A and B are shown apart, each in its own frame.
Chain A
Amino acid sequence: MREVADILFGALFTVAVSVALGALLVARLRLTLYRWEAALIEFVAGAGCLSFLTAILCTLHIARKGVFQWGGLAVIALALWQARGAPRRKSFPAIPLTWMATFGLIFSAFFIYYFFNALAPEVSPDGSGYHLGNVVRMWRNHGFSWSYLSMYAYLSQGTEMLFLVAFAFGRHSSAALVHFTYLCTLPLLMVCWGRRFGLEKAGLFAAILIFASPVIAKDGISAYNDLAVATLIYAVFYLLQVWDESKSSNLLIIIGLLSGSAYGVKYTAFLTLPFAIAWVCFSHRRSPAVQPTRPLLRDLLCLLIPALLMVSPWILRNWFWLGNPFAPFFNSWFPNPYYHAGMERIYAESLRQYAGIKHNWEIPLQLTLRGGLVSGIFGPVFLLSPLALFALRFKFGRRLLLAALVFAIPAYLNTGSRFLIPSAPFLALAMGIGLAEVPGALPVLTLFQALVCWPPVLSTYCDPWNWRISSFPSRVALRLESAQPYILKNLPDLALKVPIELEVPRGERIFSFAGRPQAYIDRDIIVSYESTLGNLAQDILWTLQVHKPQHAQHFKFLPVTTRGVRVVNIAKRTEFWTVSEMRLRSQGRELPRSPAWRLRAWPNGWEVPLAFDNSYTTRWSTWEAMAPHARIQVEFPAAERIDEVVLECEPAWTARLQVEILLDSGRWVALTDTPELVKSDFPAGLRRAATRDMKALGLRFLLINDGDMVYEDMKKYPNFWGVTQLAEANGTHFYRID
């Protein structure tokens, strides 16, 4: 039970510090809010502040338990000191007791079910993978880990900052409980919104719709960040409506802060700030005479300054660290050696595709009833979303539908249903408003959603592999049973934790083609698709299966004396252009390579040495779609006589290459664009070369799944590869490169 107490303390302490910070802020800004909404807004705003402060501590590498503990206690004490003697806030106008009682009953039932799931060991794929993986790494380093390069480490980590505080006291489940707090906050905020604006029925209806929604619940009880995003976005919308009535500049400060926090939590909330700005501008245009003395610019500054402040830790961190303020995206705008632009494109495109869906009509069914292909469902009542259009008759309905539309845009970039979570509260409220006039509709639909989304009921009709809460692990949540079997059941890879931590020296890294539950493994894992290093390692291991070096393109021309030679692509294609080795010849003999040669390439110039390292398993590649002027070039310290350029590679058949030489005048002139293609046997010893190159990259250990392309070959020829299997569990093999 001590463990449970620690978990609860970690989560409650983090929430308490957040509320305290929020209370200080709200009091300082002298905002007039109702009692319940004040508490919720204080939590949401305070969490943003705490996240910001923790990011600073992480940058300074002083993110330690003691700092959190004493700093947090000081903040709580300050808030309590300030709250003494403060006048009690007003309550919302009363609503019928039966409504509140029904809401309370349903909410409580789901709350208890969810709470035990959140309290149970964290086993969600992304939560145990990178969300808490990053947190654990930060916890080990007392701040950001600059040496670990993974696209998931580059994302903004506003929620992870809160997780870090909770993790310091209660480890993984504490972090999940912090996210669970957001899951509870969002529907309560919706109820408050309804009560404030006289739409109580719609508010209560929508709150249950959201709280009972299976994908929202599953996400909310896991150490993810989607509910934090949704709550922040909703809070911004909420306060914009309040601002519409009061026109208080101080309210804009908190709106800006929340907008910035939303971006800090997840990039997909990038629309929050533009939405708020557009709202303020539109509001000024619509009623310029309301406060003519206050210019629009001042309001915008009130909004922008706090927003930019909250955004700054993530932009600046990535800019200084990686050279790309928006990493891991926009790598073609901000080229950097840490993540390939082409891989970003492939990754983004894979997220945009609905895999397995035969017809567009299936998408609504997948999102509401089945869920297997979109990773989660919102519940059958959301099939009635078109009825939300009835809300267009009302001002609030139009606003809600606009917000639903705007915040659904990121879902275009990722087909996972959880990317629609920020839009769902607005849609639910609009449905509530649209159906409020139909007798009995809201209570019936509320009860229907509650009934059919109750986890055991849900399992009777959704796809079996739909991402959802599927059990009530009360004993393991209370740690009356060992957590280990529960974790192993959900994360079978963790069976290799002990061998990994015994065999891999501290500080060494492991390569894996697939993501692993890094939050539970005390070693860094380089995943194939997450970083440049991962891409290169994957490329090396795939040499034999995917790109055997058995082709050579010979560009022959009359002997010339030049100080530079390059091969340029002049075609625009979607494929990558790749070169294993580039060799220069004169009279049939290869020019010996010299350290004095200046090697260049565009794009991805950082990796050009891979085309001159005499290894067929390493390759230079554009790692992005071929563009005209993509090139690989050599400049000599003194003029050299050459008559042939050889590119050894898996030819990019769609590329159009030409050889150019550097004239004394500094101009490049083309010599030939007609290669002679020679196919030959690929050299022996490629397996060993691959593992040698892996070691050169600092990767001596491998985690290979049965389904990975190299597994069968590695299993058949371990001696050729020079690997030894150290352990195996549940279809995952742990190898050491000898």
Chain B
Amino acid sequence: MEPTSTASIKTARWFLAGLLAVNIYRAMTQSVTPGEAWNYDRFIRPTWAEALASFDINNHVLNTLLVRISTARFHLTELSLRLPSLLAGALYLWVVFRMARRWFGDGLVFLAVIGLLTLNPLVIDAMSEARGYGMALACWMCAFELILESVQSFNPQKLNLAGMCLGLSVAASLAFAAPACALLCVFLVWSRSGANALVRSAPWARPPGRALALIFFLTAFVLLAIPLNHAEWKTLSVGATSLRQTINALIELSLGTSLKVISASARVGLALLAFAGLFASVRYWRRRDGEIVALTGATLSLTLVFLMAAHRWLHTPFPQEGAIYLIPLTVLTVTATILKRYNKTAQVAFLFVSAVLLGRYVSAFPFGRYAAGGQFSGARTLAKTLRTKAGRGDVRIGASPAAEPILSYYRTRYRQGNWQPIERQPLTGVYDYYVLTPADTALIEQRHLHVLYRDAGLTLAQ
């Protein structure tokens, strides 16, 4: 990759820097989301023994571990909670830039790929929200980039690093087991079948596939062995019941619409893309310049096969937000395949569709709240109000079950030891303050409560 600087590259750099700044701003200012609060309350705040005594699918191990370090090192704030995700987000942006630069040169296509890979609202949220998805995505993309890089300039160390990144992606989110294994399998078969141009020219330089697989496995093992010790199937098997549901959820989160026609188009499109990707992969399998097509197409197809096979035989659910990896996989498969065909019409069509999508992304750009925490975006303000009202008095707070983790988080965050521990139970007792979700607002009437704060999702009453 030559160190050049064209207008599009400069634009991309400024754009990514801006995106990073937005991520930091959001990480600092947005209220904690229910997922973050739940993870903090169950797996980060408790002692190690308590945290390791159980496991559920929301415990994104690598993220939990890093957040533990971050919140122990710096005192607990939204920023310290989201710092690992922010760093992973920065890594993702860097990898996207490198990958787009390496494989798509510069110009409009380069910018389109960067935009498609980064502006999706789901991806933007993942780059700063304190969950494992962004981290897993960054690690997976990093692994992919390293694999591609290592086959270009045969470098076993990069391959080893790629194995480690794959392991980290699975440790960050178990949902990434499917794309990680798929990428690994595709690469192993691809490198073993002599498709690698370098291997063809120098058979002694065969990539150490076993080492890659073992490094991937050992990395994931080291991070997951102990947390998964107490995993139970019923806590692991939470997710979408069909691939259709997964895709619908992805479309809704990405495009902000649940129109059936769009969801149906997306499903058909993904199916066609899987076949087309496989076809292109076979076609470009042995071509010297076909690595990215061969690897992305086959990986996308194999990932879907793994998901369906696991659902069919192991009765595992399909991922929901965890399916975020489908975004870069589809973008890269489409882009690489179209660009390789050197078909002007196809390229124009690609740019047109990209422009439409990017327009949609930009119009829905989430400067503010996270999609996962929309209902509780005012939680921080509510907590501050409660802190002011409660003063130093010993108060009992009743919270709707959905709001309980968030309130527990702010109790710790603002060091309000005078708030008695908030319990996750129906609001049958008598409390000094009530934090209610819309489902429980009838209590205000029943108990003649005085409302202190109210927004679309939360009400604070006395």
**Residues of A near any B CB (own CB < 8 A):** 365, 369-370, 380, 383-384, 387, 435, 437-441, 444-445, 448, 452, 457, 459-461
Contact = CB atoms under 8 A, between A and B. Distances in A.
A452 B48 CA distance: 12
Contacts of B215: 438-441
Given A370-B229, A384-B221, A461-B229, A435 B49 contact: no
A643 to B, nearest CB: 68
Interface string B366-408: 0000000000000000000000000000000000000000000
Contacts of A384: 218, 221
Contact of B218 (A441, A452, A457): A441
Contact of A459 (B49, B218, B225, B229): B49
B249 to A, nearest CB: 32
Contact of B226 (A380, A440, A459): A380
B49 A438 contact: no
**Secondary structure of the B side of the interface?**
helix
B222 interface: yes
Contacts of A369: 225-226, 229
Nearest to B213: A438
Contacts of B156: 439
Interface string B221-239: 1100110010000000000
Contacts of A444: 218, 222
Q: Which of A439, A445, A448 has its CB near the most chain B CB atoms (within 10 A)? A: A439
B214 A438 contact: yes
A82 B210 CA distance: 54
Contact of B211 (A383, A438, A457): A438
Nearest to A441: B218
21 contacts: A365-B229, A369-B229, A370-B229, A380-B225, A383-B225, A384-B218, A384-B221, A437-B211, A438-B211, A438-B215, A438-B218, A439-B157, A439-B211, A439-B215, A440-B160, A441-B214, A444-B218, A452-B226, A460-B47, A461-B48, A461-B229
A387 B49 contact: no
A383 B221 contact: yes
Interface residues of B, number: 17
Q: List 6 tightest A-B contacts by C-beta distance, closest first.
A: A460-B48, A460-B49, A380-B225, A461-B52, A369-B229, A438-B214
Contacts of A457: 48
Contacts of B221: 383-384
A62 B210 CA distance: 63
A461 B157 CA distance: 34
Contacts of B47: 460
Given A369-B225, A440-B160, A445-B222, A461 B49 contact: yes
A286 to B, nearest CB: 30
Interface in B197-249: 210-211, 214-215, 218, 221-222, 225-226, 229
A445 B225 CA distance: 12
B16 to A, nearest CB: 31
A444 B220 CA distance: 12
A457 B52 CA distance: 11
Contacts of A440: 160, 215
A457 B160 CA distance: 29
A461 B55 CA distance: 12
A365 B225 CA distance: 10
**Secondary structure of the A side of the interface?**
helix
A448 B218 CA distance: 11
Contacts of B226: 369, 380, 452, 461
Nearest to B157: A439
Given A438-B211, A439-B157, 18 more contacts: A369-B229, A383-B225, A435-B214, A438-B218, A439-B156, A439-B160, A439-B211, A439-B215, A441-B214, A444-B222, A448-B222, A457-B48, A459-B49, A460-B48, A461-B48, A461-B52, A461-B226, A461-B229
Contacts of B225: 369, 380, 383
A193 B218 CA distance: 26
A557 B156 CA distance: 93
B342 to A, nearest CB: 40
B227 to A, nearest CB: 8
Contacts of A441: 214-215, 218
Interface string B144-162: 0000000000001100100
A369 B226 CA distance: 7
Interface in B48-96: 48-49, 52
A607 B218 CA distance: 61
Contacts of A439: 156-157, 160, 211, 215
A645 B79 CA distance: 91
A621 B297 CA distance: 76
Contacts of A387: 214
Contacts of A370: 229
Contacts of B157: 439
A440 B388 CA distance: 53
A456 to B, nearest CB: 10
Q: Which of B156, B215, B225 has its CB near the most chain A CB atoms (within 10 A)? A: B225
B214 A460 contact: no
A591 B48 CA distance: 75
Interface in B9-67: 47-49, 52
Contacts of B222: 444-445, 448
A380 B218 CA distance: 12
Contacts of A365: 229
Contacts of B210: 438
Contacts of B160: 439-440
A384 B214 CA distance: 11
A710 B344 CA distance: 93
A383 B215 CA distance: 16
Interface string B258-284: 000000000000000000000000000
Interface string B356-369: 00000000000000
Nearest to B227: A461
B212 to A, nearest CB: 9
Contacts of A383: 221, 225
B218 to A, nearest CB: 6
Nearest to B212: A438
Nearest to A437: B211
Nearest to A384: B221
Contacts of A438: 210-211, 214-215, 218
